Amino acid sequence: MEQLKAKIRKEGRVLPGNILLVDQFLNQQVDTELLLDMAEFWYERFKDKKITKVMTIEASGIAIAVFVASRFGVPLLFAKKYSSTNVTRESHEVNIYSYTKQVSYNVAISKRLLTSDDTVLIIDDFLANGQALKGLLDLCRSAGASVAGVGIAIEKAFQNGREAVKDFDVDISSLAIVEALDAETGEIRFSGDEVKGEERA
Ligand code: G4P
């Protein structure tokens, strides 16, 4: 999606450790016009799937998912993070280890709110090593809910997020696919960009 890629090029910053900072328009301050365009893109992509709920995980996915849920005219459901295991039996629960943040946390969703009657569109800001997405897919599996697709704003293709969820065989629609980040030069290379100096056959 060109609007998102242009915004990342203009306002994204590359930090050491292969981290892309997008707090100026996505993660902390939010560009609502851009989010409307992103929601429209996913609506066109998944509008025939009879989505009953848009689902995400606390925290940064929520802003994006609100716009998407609004466009589909369905509720937004977000999985809640817990630092301990004291969730009730009324919740589906999963443990997630984040390679990016090197922390482990529990995530829960109420059994009342996600059921086998649901067809879900999962939305998140980043796909890195994929553990957050895998956790959401596990929660849907526990609930017996169908997953119609996954919308990701920024996929870091050089990490193994897709591989981590390949057993779920789910349709992933990423709006900006980052092939490489360079913290020294600040370069952000997207899938489809020409590599400088590359010889073409
Ligand atoms: P992981 O397995 O390495 O943990 O990767 P995953 O795809 O599950 O992403 C884990 C978390 O790390 C996500 O946050 C994601 O937004 C964040 N993340 C990964 N790479 C980047 C990056 O390059 N830039 C930024 N800004 N964030 C990144 P989360 O667990 O959903 O938590 P929250 O930050 O939304 O609270």
Residue 18 β-bridge partners: none
Q: Among 140, 134, 124, 131, which residue's Cα sits nearest to residue 52?
A: 140
CA-nearest residue for atom 17, ligand 1, is: 126
Give the tens place of pLDDT for each residue, 136-192.
Answer: 999 999 999 999 999 999 999 999 999 999 999 999 999 999 999 999 999 999 998
Give the pocket of ligand 1 (CB within 6 Å).
Answer: 19-22, 27, 57-61, 98-101, 125-132, 161
Residue 77 β-bridge partners: 55
Percentage, residues of the chain above pLDDT 70: 93
Ligand 1: which atom is nearest the Cα of residue 22?
A: 26
CA-nearest residue for atom 35, ligand 1, is: 60
Q: Among 91, 89, 87, 97, which residue's Cα sits nearest to residue 77?
A: 91
Q: What is the pLDDT of residue 199?
A: 39
pTM, two decimal places: 0.94
pLDDT band at residue 55 using 50, 70 and 90 as cut-offs: very high
Q: What is the pLDDT of residue 83?
A: 62
Judge whether residue 35 has pLDDT over 80: yes
Cβ–Cβ under 8 Å, residues 140 and 55? yes
Judge whether residue 198 has pLDDT over 50: no
Mean pLDDT, range 70-96, rounded to an integer: 86
Give the tens place of pLDDT for each residue, 4-29.
Answer: 999 999 999 999 999 999 999 999 99
Cβ–Cβ under 8 Å, residues 132 and 156? no
Give the tens place of pLDDT for each residue, 91-133.
Answer: 999 999 998 889 999 999 999 999 999 999 999 999 999 999 9
Q: How remote is the CA of residue 126 from the centroid of ligand 1, in Å?
A: 6
Q: How remote is the CA of residue 58 from the centroid of ligand 1, in Å?
A: 11
Q: How remote is the CA of residue 197 from the centroid of ligand 1, in Å?
A: 32
Ligand 1: which atom is nearest the Cα of residue 132?
A: 8
pLDDT band at residue 69 using 50, 70 and 90 as cut-offs: very high
For the chain, what is the radius of gyration of the CA atoms?
17
Q: Can you say whether the dihedral through the CA atoms of 89, 90, 92, 95 is positive or negative? A: negative
Pocket test for ligand 1, best of 58, 95, 99, 101 (most atoms within 8 A of CB): 101
Cβ–Cβ under 8 Å, residues 43 and 68? yes
Q: How remote is the CA of residue 2 from the centroid of ligand 1, in Å?
A: 22
Q: How remote is the CA of residue 199 from the centroid of ligand 1, in Å?
A: 34
pLDDT: which is higher, 84 or 92 = 92
